[in-house]
Every structure is written in structure tokens, then in C-alpha cells.
Structure 1
Amino acid sequence: MTATAPVLLYDGVCGVCNRGVRIILRFDRRGTLRFAALDGEFARGVIARHPELQDVDSVVYVTDPGLPGETVDVQSAAMFRVAEYLGGPWRLTLAARVIPRGLRDWAYARFATVRYRVGGQYDTCPIPPPEVRSRFIDAA
């Protein structure tokens, strides 16, 4: 795994988000996608480089982190990047790109407002299991 491998920023105290990360870990055949909590040090650096993320309350997919060509995708675009990364049957979800991005992101934002009621909330970001801890930037 390299320092330039993609990174997924997520809400570390969100139960839905944590389950999503566990699913990604289970199906990640390459084993290179890394993770960082939105309230962690790594995410603060990404947000400093991308001021448009200042008030983000969404998953963020970071490509080429820390390099001049670093890019970020949020909300539905970030989810599509994860599906592309995972490949295989996950790529079938890319068909949803026919839905206008504004509508996709509106639906994403509506779900985000109830995610704690749906999936619960942790007091602190859970510590990842030892076998995958190296993939969590702020926990390594």
C-alpha cells in the first residue's frame, strides 16, 4: 500500500458509515483503499487544501492524497468512486449515474440527516481490528 493510495473520509461515529467501511473492507480485493475519520488530522489536511469541503458532512473519496493532482469527490460521486474501485458486481451501481447528480445528492443529503437514527451513533470512532488497522490513517 502506498501513501498515494485513495482514501475514503467518513463519519467515524456514524453506525451506517462504519458498517459501510466494514463492507468495503470485506469486498476490497486489492486491499489498498485507506480510511480516515472526517474529524481526524488527515481529513483536516484535506479540508485545508479543499476549502469547498469546510462544512462537509459526507463521505469524501480522495484520489492522489497530498499530491498536486489530488482530487476529491463527495456524496454520490464518492460512492460511485468506491463502486469503481471495488469493481466486479459493484460496478452495476454505476448505472445510477443516469440519475441527475443534483437529485442523487439531494437523496444522499436527506438520508444523511437521519443516519444516526437509522444506524446509531458511537461516542467515539471505533478502533479498527488489528488485521486492518494499518489501512486507517489516524488509527495506525
Structure 2
Amino acid sequence: MESEVFDDSLERPIVFFDGVCNLCNASVLFFLDRNQKENLMFASLQSSIAEKILGKKTEWNDSPYSVLFLEKGILYQKSTAIIKICAHLTFPWNLFSLFRWIPNSIRDFVYDWVAGNRYRWFGKLDACRTPHPNLKSRFLED
């Protein structure tokens, strides 16, 4: 699923994640470890930089989306965002991009189920984590 076109002048793809979600934070660390090209950037959906880039169109708090992915001016959400992110990872994780052949309705059903239960299963932080100093350059900040 794609959203409207955003500013495509951003040079690197951006992963927007729920900064208080333990599953989302673990996923970001997973992506960082497997993105050898170091081309992925990250921003918490709760940050002012996310609001600046995405605008007020994306109300993360009222949304089931825990991950959004902006690449070449197109915002991807739900399972499509995960598939697009995985295409930037090392082997064998980049093979998850093959899931794009599964119908979107099936992929998003599973995604919504996990996203809807993520706080219950994995917990929630009181505030967004601060990135480790070694990784700070990969995070867009306010």
C-alpha cells in the first residue's frame, strides 16, 4: 500500500517507527545491524522531525501503523513498508521482499494483528529511547 508522494529530495530512505514500542525499537536495532550500506535513516514517529517531514497527515497515535517507510518521495505503510525495508538488508533478510507476491490484504491482516497487540506482547516505554552514540548519525533528530 502506498500513500501520496512526499518531498523526494530526501536522499536516503527513512524508517519512521513508534519510539515507545519495544517491538519497534528491537526492529530498528535489527535493521541497523543488517543494513550494511548504512543507507537507511530512522526517526521516531513521536519526533518533531517526523511531523516536519510527514506533516500532520500522519496521526501516529490514532494509527495501527507502527512502521512507516519513506523512499523516493513515496510513503509506504503496514506490510509493504516492512517489505521495502527488508529489500535494503543483507542476505538472507532481503529475501523477505519476496513476500510482496502475497496478496496485500493477507499481509496487512497479519501486520494489523501484530501491530494491534504489540504493546501487550512486547511492552511499551514511557518515553522514546535515546540512540546509542555510535548510531546517532543514523537517526534524524529534532
Q: TM-score, normalised by structure 2?
A: 0.83
How far apart in 1 are the matches of 2:127 and 2:48? 15
Match of 1:122 in 2: 125
1:62 pairs with 2:70: yes
Match of 1:38 in 2: 45
Amino acid at match of 1:62: L
- Which stretch of the first structure deviates more once superposed, 77-86 or 89-98? 89-98
Count of aligned pairs:
131
Q: Secondary structure at the match of 1:88?
A: coil
Match of 2:98 in 1: 95
How far apart in 2 are the matches of 1:56 and 1:48? 15
Amino acid at match of 1:90: W
Q: Secondary structure at the match of 2:134?
A: coil
1:132 pairs with 2:131: no
- Percent of aligned positions that are identical: 31
How far apart in 2 are the matches of 1:98 and 1:84? 14
| Deviant stretches of 4+, over 3 Å | 53-57
Deviations 1:28-82 (A, max 9, x none): 1011211001111121123327x3x345342111113xxxxx1110011100111
Q: Which runs of 5+ in 2 are unaligned?
A: 1-8
Match of 1:80 in 2: 83
Q: TM-score, normalised by structure 1?
A: 0.84
How far apart in 1 are the matches of 2:98 and 2:38? 25
Amino acid at match of 1:60: L
How far apart in 1 are the matches of 2:54 and 2:98? 30
- Which stretch of the first structure deviates more once superposed, 20-29 or 93-102? 93-102
Deviation at 1:13, TM superposition (A): 0.3
